[in-house]
Amino acid sequence: MPTALNSSPPVSFIDPQVLMTIKNLELRARVVVEGFWHGLHRSPYHGFSVEFTEYRPYSSGDDPRYLDWHLVARTDRYYIKKFEDETNLRCHLLVDNSRSMTYGSRGYSKEAYANTLAATLAYFLSHQGDAVGLLTFDEQIREFLPARNRPGHLRHLMLALEKPAAGSTTDLTAPLKRIVEIVRKRGLMVLISDLLAPVETLEANLAVLTSSGHEVIVFQVFDPAEVEFDFAKASQFYDIESGRELYIEPDVARREYLKKLDAHSAAVRSACQHLGVAHQRLVTSQPLELALFDFLRARMQRGKTIKRATPGRGLG
Amino acid sequence: MSFLAPLFLLGALAVALPVIFHLIRRTTREKTPFSSLMFLLPTPPRVTRRSRLENIWLLVLRCLVIVLLALGFGRPFLQKVLPPARPSDAGRKFVVLLDTSASMKRAGVWEDAVAKANAAVRNTSVGDELALFAFDRALRPVITFAEWNEAKPDQRDAFASQRINQLKPTWAATHLGSALTQAAELFDAAGVGQRTNVHRQIVLISDLQEGSRLDGLQGHEWPRGVEVVLQTVKPKSTGNAGLRWLAGTEAESKPGEQADARFRVINTTESKRDQLQLRWLADVTPSTNATPLDIYVPAGQSRIVAAPKPAPSGDARLVLAGDAETFDNSVFVVKSQPARLPILFLGTDVENDATQPLYYLRRAFPPTSRQIVEVLARKPDDPALAGDLFRAQLVVISDGLPDAALDSVKEFARNGRIVLVAMKNAAAAQTVARLLGLGDFTASEVTGNYAILGQIDFQHPLFAPFADPRFSDFTKIHFWKHRRIDAARLSGARVLAKFDDGDPALAQMPVGKGGVVILTSAWQPADSQLALSSKFVPLLHSLLELSANLPAQKAQYFIGDEVPFPPSQQPLTVHKPDGKEVPLVGATKFTDTDQPGIYAVTPAGWRFAVNLAPEESRTSPLPVDQLLALGVPLKQRSIDAGASTVQQQARLQAAELEGQQKLWRWLIVAALVVLMVETWLAGRVTNRARAASQAQA
């Protein structure tokens, strides 16, 4: 199960540090996804996405690959096997491009990691035949690409992701409200952010998404330095977003910091749980494949809970 | 080690600052970016424990800099006993200069000066030497070093005080410059010059008036170690106006005509009064009730005014009234008397005969207010000749004369006078021979074409007035006749002019102290055009001056001036204004002009006035800067200021010691050196830390 994978990651996972040396975002995404597939083929759990829903009479122009040859042999009629995922998943990737995301202590920023993650997901979903949209934001919306599955769309998406961040603060309110207004059809919202904002507003913002019927997955991205606060020397710390300066002695401040960070994370997690939002905490030192696994697992869990709750209805 | 400004040592408390900075471990320069500070609290500045003091050496150096600076500002000095601030026992030398000029007569000045002089004497200690000099125009010893040393130490005060109290201010001007330079030389004369460590001080007690003469100070080489202490005395009143008679107006006027006397009235800048009055006071006739003349002279300005009218006919005194000080308010004026200069003409010429030389000689000397020249014509056999020869300033002869008369004339020349022999005929050569003691000296008549003066010795005083090219043209004077003499016979003669044919025209032969001047022609129209030319009168005047050899008798002198007299057969007596009589025996000068007034000389009947020097009226204080600019080694504060307390003296001494040692300079230099070391060390520490951090990264 994915949990097992999470606890003991296979050695074949690509180190993010090595991955980030690849300049091209699309190439990076492809490396992750293909490696993932590569591993997936060897895994016994690869068939989950080919969920059969119904047959449809073949009409000219349909891909003959999807003809059910058995049925043709049996009934001499042409039927196309239809898979549910293929068509009606509309996924929007909401990527935080605020300035706090530019922080990185391992040679690459959280933003690069988040962008790679978004690209990976887009690539993966796109190759799975789903429509992928993109929304990058800081305190307001920067880029918006509606969810589509067209040749060339992925390329646009990659280009949009590669644009440098220019924003300052993390403020989810305006972007999320806006996306709710734009995206009328229900779909999947993947929020990739460090969520370094007060929890109260965050909960309200996520509630806007969920109340519109969207399925929400939150990837909270952290830098290892943010998680461990392993600074050695005392110095003047300054906030990338606000420019505020504080004299910090890490030895003294670490305990309090970790305590507050844990409290914040717990608050975020409980808020997500409360709203039925899948929350994943990612540290940029983790391989991206794991995030992908987490994504799929969240999707499956979600599917199961929803199926369990409303039997006979397909995945939203 | 003592300190001149110990309060600055409090600055050393600033040592605490680097210590605190070192204890606060706060590297403010390093900055670390971070995504968000929302989980961070500012860390309060933490003070490290003593065991964790970093960079001890830097701390020590920084503390040292502050301590050194504080010490430097504290102006430290070493209390030395070697050069004590009051080297009383080393034997100080004092020269006290007491101003006795006329301006010291002002109210309250002299008493103050005497008190200061007595105080200066009292302030000496047993080992000191003191000399006291009074000065005005000249330096006069009151107490010499020798007298001081002879007196017993316990009697010196009384002795000096007695001498000082005998002094009185005189009427003379203030020659401060020469007094100071002479006083400085007194140290050398007293044998102190070689020992430079002896404390030598000139104490100048004066009113330091603006009119003091400072000549001699410029560029004067002051002996090393001599210092001048000023003890200025101030008058009770400020401001003064002075009066000065302006000479030169009478000279142009004709005799018998009363000239308008002019006076300059000056008022000092401090003066508060500008309305003054001028009034004649007749010395001789007290009945003159002249009306005063009101004049207005603003402070700091001067006016030239004509004397009030009517002017008294005789000698008189002009008095200025209305200013604060009276010592300089009188000017004595003597009616100038022309000098009488008799010229003796020896010959047989008839009066009013225009063909004879005498006629022209009489008319060559018009009388002026300065001098009246009378020409006395005497026959060679005149019995009054001897008496006239005594009075005469010049003897003129134009003809051959009997030997008896010539002997007394020769004596006249030997006494320093000039005898002019204008040879109107060849017979006059006999006179020349007799006068010069030549056996057979003859002359031959030269006639024919006229002669002119061809070669003239303009170097000689006789022709010096004509030396200017404007006046040196003698060619218009035609000599129709002249006599040729044998110049070779005249040994020692100086030929002053020659005719164009080479014959001597004018020659001078020394005889005794005087001489004989031979003119080989004469000036009557038959001989030459000389009498009609413009050169005639100046030439005779030159001759008269050469013979009389006497400067014009002046009638105005200042206090201290020497009054020259012509030699006189009779014993002369000078009557001073205060009634004293000074006999002049054999002297040709009178030097005792020590009071203003009118002096009379009997039996010659001369009178002259002696007045106060006009500079003495300029009583504004002399700026001390002017003395400093002239290089006078002034000491600003006297160590003998009696009012100074022990504390003040100790402070002065400390300041002097500190000024000599100047330890603060070394402390500042040391602080700079330590700062450099600190900079170097800090740089090294930083570099090392940076290298270490890079290595870690």
Strand partners for B341: B373
Cβ neighbours of residue B10 closer than 8 Å, sequence gap 6 or more: B70
ipTM comes to 0.70
Task: Please report where in the chains the tokens 């007595």 appear, as a residue.
Answer: B118
Cis-peptide, bond into residue B310, ω within 30° of zero: yes
Q: Mean pLDDT of successive 10-residue segments in chain A (316 residues)?
A: 41 71 78 66 39 77 84 88 62 86 85 88 81 85 84 87 73 82 84 84 85 87 87 80 79 85 90 86 85 77 50 38
Strand partners for B371: B339
Q: Which chain B residue lies closest to A103 (C-alpha atoms)?
A: B35
User: For residue B509, is pLDDT > 70?
Assistant: yes
Q: CB–CB of B38 and A252 under 8 A?
A: no
Chain A CB contacts of B33 under 8 Å are 103, 237-238, 240
CA B364/CA B354 separation, integer angstroms:
13
For residues B630-648, b (16+ Cβ closer than 10 Å) or e, as one string? Answer: bebbbeeebbbeeeeeeee
User: For residue B286, is pLDDT > 60?
Assistant: no
- Among candidates A236, A238, A253 on the partner chain, residue whose Cβ is nearest the Cβ of B41: A253
User: For residue B643, is pLDDT > 50?
Assistant: no
CA B231/CA A208 separation, integer angstroms:
102
| Least Cα separation, residue A140 to chain B (angstroms) | 19
Chain B CB contacts of A260 under 8 Å are 38-39
Chain B CB contacts of A110 under 8 Å are 35
| Least Cα separation, residue A240 to chain B (angstroms) | 5
**B690 in reach of chain A (CB within 8 A):** no
Q: For a pLDDT cut of 70, what percent of chain B falls above it? A: 87
pLDDT of residue B46: 60
Q: CB–CB of B40 and A233 under 8 A?
A: no
Rounded mean pLDDT, B498-523: 90
Chain B CB contacts of A235 under 8 Å are 27, 30-32
Chain B CB contacts of A249 under 8 Å are 43, 46
How many other C-beta atoms lie within 10 A of the C-beta of residue B99?
Answer: 26
Q: What is the pLDDT of residues B168-199, one digit of tens each?
A: 899 988 999 889 888 888 877 766 445 556 77
| Least Cα separation, residue A218 to chain B (angstroms) | 19
**DSSP letters along A48-116, please?**
GG--EEEEEE--TTS-GGGB-HHHHHHHS--EEEEESHHHH-EEEEEEE--GGGG--SSSS-HHHHHHH
Q: CB–CB of A264 and B39 under 8 A?
A: yes
CA B358/CA B396 separation, integer angstroms:
9
Q: For a pLDDT cut of 90, what percent of chain B falls above it? A: 11
SS3 of A145, please? strand
User: For residue B250, is pLDDT > 60?
Assistant: no
Q: β-strand B394-397 against B371-378: which pairing, if any?
A: unpaired
The answer to which of A100-109, B42-51, B263-272, B362-371 has the lowest mean pLDDT is: B42-51
Task: Please report where in the chains the tokens 């140290």 appear, as a residue.
Answer: B187
For residue B253, what are the CA distances in angstroms to A269, B247, B336?
Answer: 132, 12, 11
Burial class of residue B442 (count of CB atoms within 10 Å of its CB; 0-12, 13-18, 19+): middle
Cβ neighbours of residue A262 closer than 8 Å, sequence gap 6 or more: none
Rounded mean pLDDT, B71-96: 70
User: For residue B614, is pLDDT > 70?
Assistant: yes
User: For residue B45, is pLDDT > 70?
Assistant: no
**B694 in reach of chain A (CB within 8 A):** no
Q: CB–CB of B40 and A248 under 8 A?
A: yes
User: For residue B92, is pLDDT > 90?
Assistant: no
Chain B CB contacts of A223 under 8 Å are 35
Q: CB–CB of A235 and B41 under 8 A?
A: no
Q: What is the pLDDT of residues B17-34, one digit of tens each?
A: 888 877 775 555 677 888
pLDDT of residue A48: 38
**B695 in reach of chain A (CB within 8 A):** no
pLDDT of residue B134: 92
Phi, psi of B348, rounded to the nearest 5 degrees: -110, 20
First to last CA, chain A: 23
Task: Please report where in the chains the tokens 């922080």 appear, as a residue.
Answer: A103
Chain A CB contacts of B36 under 8 Å are 100, 194, 196, 239-241
More confident residue, A79 or B565: A79
The answer to which of A278-282, A283-287, B60-64, B632-636 has the lowest mean pLDDT is: B632-636
Q: Which chain A residue lies closest to B34 (C-alpha atoms)?
A: A239
Q: β-strand B563-564 against A90-96: which pairing, if any?
A: unpaired
Choose, out of B38, B47, B48, B693, the residue to mutate when testing the contact with A (most A CBs < 10 Å). B38
Q: Which chain A residue lies closest to B697 (C-alpha atoms)?
A: A232
Instruction: Of B153-162, B494-503, B590-599, give the range with the top mean pLDDT.
Output: B494-503
Rounded mean pLDDT, B63-67: 90
| Least Cα separation, residue B73 to chain A (angstroms) | 38
pLDDT of residue B640: 47
Chain A CB contacts of B27 under 8 Å are 233-235
Tell me what the pLDDT averaged over chain B comes to.
Answer: 82
